[in-house]
Structure 1
Amino acid sequence: GRCLLMLEGHQASVSACTWSPDARRLLSGSNDKSLRVWDAESGRCLLTLEGHRAKVYACGWSPDGRRLLSGSGDKSLRLWDAENGRCLRTLEGHQAKVYACAWSPDGQRLLSGSNDNSLRVWDAENGHCLRTLEGHQDRVTACAWSLDGRRLLSGSRDNSLRVWDTESGRCLLVATLVGPGESATFDGDQQRVLWASAKAWRHLGWRVHDPAAGRLRILPAEFFGPLPTD
């Protein structure tokens, strides 16, 4: 539990952070509208990425570590070169703040979630919006891809999780939760979903396919309770 490094440089709260695929660098996004790339060993700031016109709420590395993705309160996403910090492309289409973003496992597509209650799937090369996913009744605060890229996961302030088919955009599953959360991801075996909020966490099990119902089926929560404090 010892603190190894303290990375300082942002001028406002840090709202997002993530590791590079090779674990040699870190990426952070801040309310100061910037992102920073850090050396994970020395803690030195390698790059400062500026261009967003509002708070940065989400960020991520491409699977090959060559590009960065960010989502902001200015309603846009930006793609960046991870080596020189140059903005490669601005993705626009959401009608409100972008709270979540994620790369597909093959690095060819992007996923974003917004305060406009929708998700969007984007082409990572040309920035075109490929699909808009609608169904949530409140802001989308979390999103993720399955490891095989065939399914999408979203979490919302409407107290629900949704699983979507990537190709058709069809909603496969809606799981109602006890409260809103801020983070959602698939478990390693892709049979469970991990969901976390500021006050609690939940581990949900679900079957890939229910032949009788012809759709995904949610299983009971394995555990639910306060977040660990130590």
Structure 2
Amino acid sequence: MQPYQRLTGHSKDVSYCAWSPDSSMLLTCSTEPDNLKLWDVSTGTCKHDLRKHDDQVTSCAWLPDGNHFVSGAMTKSISILLWNIDGSMLHKWSGPRVMDLAVNREGTLMYAICSEKKIWAYDLTDKTTQALWSIQETDPITSISLTLDDRYALVNLQTAQELHLWDLENKVLVHKYVGHNHLRYVLRSCFGGINQRFVVSGSEGMLGLLLANLVNWCRELAMNILRN
């Protein structure tokens, strides 16, 4: 197997990437300050080197139209930016340092997890600077994933070493998943399988422990989805 393309241009580690809806473009974030790049996958060329944040860009997410995307950073003055694929900045939000972002299927809502241990919801239709609402968590959050129907969010809690499944419609914690190790690094999780019947998460150290718990996680998540 040979690499399809080799994308070169970041001077430090690539910490995050996001494919466009049609897989023709790729966004990459680096650990170097203020570095977000948009790539043409077919040619391997960098279309835009986007530098409007004041600090490390931690995350990015596409809107479903494939013509817009958002990026989050560790700076409070410009924590989230909305972009056009032509490289122009369309809107900015100031607030807590952002760790991860997610956008719903309609492109109307954006969810951000931040250094204040909260999940924030923003309206992308009128681009108000204030969040619509927030959910307070107990520990630092490192990632967020949405179900296909956008009703549930799965988040990783670092020091608690738990995954939390939130009902975003009712702002209710549905379930907690335990069994993985998460103390030091940024770990991410996602849904998988037919009808997203299981969840999977990275783990520090023992991969076998993570895989052993997938059976229980799958069963528990399916039961919760059926109940709701």
- Which of the five TM-score ranges fits, normalised by the shorter chain? 0.7 to 0.9
Whichever residue aligns with residue 191 of structure 1, its letter is: R
Q: Does 1:80 align with 2:86?
A: no
Whichever residue aligns with residue 190 of structure 2, its letter is: T
Report deviation, 1:8.
Answer: 1.2
Q: Does 1:187 align with 2:192?
A: yes
Instruction: Give the match's secondary structure for 2:190.
Output: strand
Q: Does 1:17 align with 2:23?
A: no
> Which of 121, 128, 131 is the aligned partner of 1:129?
131
Whichever residue aligns with residue 144 of structure 1, its letter is: S
Instruction: Give the match's secondary structure for 1:129.
Output: coil
Whichever residue aligns with residue 30 of structure 2, its letter is: S
Report deviation, 1:215.
Answer: 6.4
Residue 174 of structure 1 is matched in structure 2 by 176
Residue 227 of structure 1 is matched in structure 2 by none
CA-to-partner distance for each residue in 1:204-225, whole Å, 9 max, x for gaps? Answer: 31344469xx968xxxxxxxxx
CA distance in 1, matches of 2:224, 2:103: 28
Unaligned runs of 5+ in 2: none
CA 1:36–1:210: 2 relative to 1, 3 Å: closer
Residue 104 of structure 2 is matched in structure 1 by 104
Instruction: Give the match's secondary structure for 1:23.
Output: coil
Instruction: Give the match's secondary structure for 2:80.
Output: strand
Q: CA RMSD in A?
A: 2.2
Give the fraction of aligned pairs with identical amino acids, expressed as a percent: 26
Report deviation, 1:31.
Answer: 2.3
Whichever residue aligns with residue 22 of structure 1, its letter is: D
Count the aligned residue pairs. 210
More strand by share: 1
CA distance in 2, matches of 1:130, 1:41: 38
Report deviation, 1:11.
Answer: 3.1
Residue 36 of structure 2 is matched in structure 1 by 35
Kept in 1, the 8 Å contact 2:14–2:29? The answer is yes
Whichever residue aligns with residue 172 of structure 2, its letter is: R
Whichever residue aligns with residue 57 of structure 1, its letter is: T
Moved more, 191-200 or 19-28: 191-200
Kept in 2, the 8 Å contact 1:15–1:30? The answer is yes
Unaligned runs of 5+ in 1: 217-230
Whichever residue aligns with residue 172 of structure 1, its letter is: V
More helix by share: 2
Instruction: Give the match's secondary structure for 1:122.
Output: strand
CA-to-partner distance for each residue in 1:76-126, whole Å, 9 max, x for gaps? Answer: 1111112x11111112232xx311111112211111112221111111221
Residue 221 of structure 1 is matched in structure 2 by none
Kept in 1, the 8 Å contact 2:198–2:222? The answer is no
CA distance in 1, matches of 2:16, 2:137: 25
Whichever residue aligns with residue 4 of structure 1, its letter is: Y
